[in-house]
């Protein structure tokens, strides 16, 4: 399913081929990536547990985000609240609005399940840009709970 599309960016459900592309790209940029993480997301998507989203930028896989409508872990586990999990934009595609669009679509998907969505945020420097993005604007019409993970 396609959730958003314009002349540069397309947000759609994750497909099997995306797992290898993302893994290879993350390894190339020096991240410790394993394909199992993405294959697990695909299985969860097939089982109806997650909406696994991928962003394409000009036809190339550029980022990903996942929405678990009723997450079974974290501080709000099994409370019928969606959790946003594992959000990333490949370094070479950053600063094109891809992360913002992925988060916008993830929030829209989550809002179909509840008026509150939560996520965990790492506190080390590798999460700096994500930490800034997770601060919701005052115009947001839903509640956004952010859990800080040490």
**Listed residue (62, 119, 69, 118) closest to 88, CA to CA:** 62
Q: Which residue has the higher pLDDT, 11 or 140?
A: 11
Backbone angles phi, psi at 11, to 5 degrees: -110, 125
Give the CATH number, domain containing residue 39.
3.40.630.30
Please report the pLDDT score of residue 73 as a whole number. Answer: 82
What torsion, rounded to 10 degrees, do the Cα atoms 83, 38, 53, 124 define? 50
Number of domains in the chain: 1
**Listed residue (79, 73, 63, 70) closest to 133, CA to CA:** 63
Length of the chain, in residues: 150
Q: What is the mean pLDDT of residues 52-68?
A: 97
Write out the residue range of the structural domain in which residue 89 sits: 2-149
Backbone angles phi, psi at 10, to 5 degrees: -130, 130
**Percent of all residues in the chain with a pLDDT value above 70, rounded to a whole number:** 79
pLDDT tens per residue, range 85-108: 999 999 999 999 999 999 999 999
Neighbours of 60 (CB within 10 A): 12
């Amino acid at each position: 399913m396609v959730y958003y599309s314009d002349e540069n960016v397309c947000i759609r459900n994750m497909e099997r081929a995306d797992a290898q592309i993302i893994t290879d790209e993350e390894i190339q940029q020096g991240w410790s990536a394993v394909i199992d993480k993405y294959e697990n997301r695909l299985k969860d998507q097939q089982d109806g547990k997650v909406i696994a989203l991928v962003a394409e930028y000009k036809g190339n896989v550029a980022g990903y985000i996942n929405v678990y409508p009723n997450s079974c872990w974290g501080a709000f586990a099994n409370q019928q609240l969606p959790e946003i999990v594992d959000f990333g934009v490949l370094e070479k595609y950053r600063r094109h609005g891809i992360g913002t669009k992925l988060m916008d679509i993830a929030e829209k998907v989550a809002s179909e399940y509840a008026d509150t969505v939560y996520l965990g945020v790492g506190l080390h420097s590798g999460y700096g840009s994500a930490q800034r993005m997770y601060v919701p604007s005052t115009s947001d019409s839903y509640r956004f709970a952010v859990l800080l993970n040490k």
